[in-house]
Structure 1
Amino acid sequence: MQLQEFADRSHLDSSTIEAWVDAEWLVAQRPEHPFSEQDLARVRLIQDLKGDLGVNDEGIALVLYLLDQIYGLRCLLRDIQAMRITDSERTK
């Protein structure tokens, strides 16, 4: 989705979005559609951490880093499981 739609749906102004991209809390993927539904979910998480839980910027960076690590490990585990299934089908 484009910046304006993302700003409208996330209830963020463009300067906040830019600051969060600069901080690498959000990563614009492609020039034609830089933001995704995952980015909206990430914004909601950041807003909850900042607003409801009072987490400071350093804490948010740490939480996002750890969540990204978990996501990467889940993807790796899914790939390993797919390879095992493929290997077991070949040996039958």
Structure 2
Amino acid sequence: MKTIDLQAFLLDSRIERVVLERWIARRWVLSIDDDGQPVLTDADAARACFIRDLTRDFGVNDEGIDLVLHLVDQLHGLRRMLADVRVQLDTVSPGQRDSTG
């Protein structure tokens, strides 16, 4: 993933640094290096925009954000798992697939 400069991240996501720090403390954005400095990616920027929209546009509270992010993370994990299963199935010949059921 492509990393993003902190200032560009804040500008693109239209949030203030104090908001980002709060979200990091709540573990909504998880990109921290060994020195405790944010290492932000394009995925973090998309997540920040999603959180911003949920809070500002839809009025979702912190507990609701926790729940929504948990569900979104589960969904992404499931998508990755299904993609892995698809790759494994693609490596099995059609004759083998028919005899396993």
What band does the TM-score fall into relative to the shorter chain? 0.7 to 0.9
Residues in 1 aligned to 2:38 and 2:26: alpha-carbon distance in whole angstroms = 20
Count matched residues.
91
Which residue of 39, 44, 50 maps to 1:45? 50
SS state of the match for residue 48, structure 2? helix
Please list every run of at least 4 consecutive aligned residues from structure 1 whose deviation after the TM superposition is greater than 3 angstroms: 29-33
- Structure 2 residue identity aligned to 1:25: W
Alignment match, 1:85: 90
Report deviation, 1:36: 1.4
* AA matched with 1:46: I
Which of the two has higher C-alpha Rg?
2
In the TM superposition, what is the alpha-carbon distance from 1:62 to its structure 2 partner? 0.4
Structure-2 separation of matches of 1:54 and 1:36: 26
Gaps of 5+ in 1: none
Please state whether the residue corresponding to 2:39 is helix, strand or coil.
coil
The alignment-based identity, stated in percent, is 38
Tell me how far apart the structure 2 counterparts of residues 68 and 39 of structure 1 sit (CA, whole Å).
Answer: 13
Q: 2:64 maps to which residue?
A: 59
1:73 Cα offset (Å): 0.5
Structure 2: runs of 5 or more not aligned: 97-101
Which amino acid in 1 is paired with 2:76?
Y
1:30 Cα offset (Å): 5.1
TM-superposed CA distance for 1:88, in Å, is: 2.0
Cα distance per residue 1:53-82 (max 9 Å; x no partner): 111000001000000000000000000010
The residue that corresponds to 1:7 in the other structure is 10
